[in-house]
Chains A and B, each alone.
Chain A
């Protein structure tokens, strides 16, 4: 199985801050990576696919990058509604695997 390691596991930031989350795969997954946002008590919501492609309707303050084993997810200008847990997920190989999540607080 491909292990996905996210860091940090939690962070606290202020409105307007730039926030960066990293996700490391245990082996090369090319750009086969998705990022999801999960607000408290809600289902996950797709934000980024193919490591850097913004999902339709998602604000442009969200971005993703990286390839191979190292990936980043950035919120440029944190907003109160961005309070959530963020997960990376690889689809290079089955079983599909998710990172442990990063909880973003203000």
Chain B
């Protein structure tokens, strides 16, 4: 049974750095092909992919946010951590982490998601 859960502050001030932790169980991020992603959703809006980290510690970021994002993993703790610098009110959103499953060659899906955590950016 795969589970993921996001944790972090619910309120941050503009210009501050956001640190979100995703704690997971039921899989290992050292298993070949496995990945964990971060996706966010502003209130009432669509989903936006932010970042991916792979079992081999390779990382990929959304080009529009790359300069502000850092994604790390702690395999021993079954955690991944996303930091986003210089937060702005437009970054107010629910932030999800999700397990990326490899269905086959070049085939991937987010098959398990955390419950999400709402982060509000306001002074």
Chain A positions near chain B (C-beta within 8 angstroms): 1, 32, 34, 36, 38, 43-46, 49-50, 53, 55, 87, 89, 91, 94-101
Contacts and interface: CB of A to CB of B under 8 A. Distances in A.
Interface in B88-123: 96, 103-104, 106-111, 113-116
B49 interface: yes
Nearest to A99: B46
The A interface is mostly helix, strand or loop, or mixed, namely: loop
Contacts, number: 57
- Listed from nearest, the 10 A-B pairs whose CB atoms lie closest are A43-B113, A96-B49, A98-B47, A49-B109, A100-B46, A95-B62, A34-B109, A101-B46, A46-B111, A91-B108
Interface of B: 37, 39, 46-49, 52, 60, 62-64, 96, 103-104, 106-111, 113-116
27 contacts: A1-B63, A32-B106, A34-B110, A36-B47, A43-B114, A43-B115, A44-B113, A45-B113, A46-B109, A46-B110, A46-B111, A49-B107, A49-B109, A50-B104, A50-B107, A55-B111, A91-B109, A94-B60, A95-B60, A95-B62, A95-B63, A95-B64, A96-B37, A98-B47, A98-B49, A100-B46, A101-B47
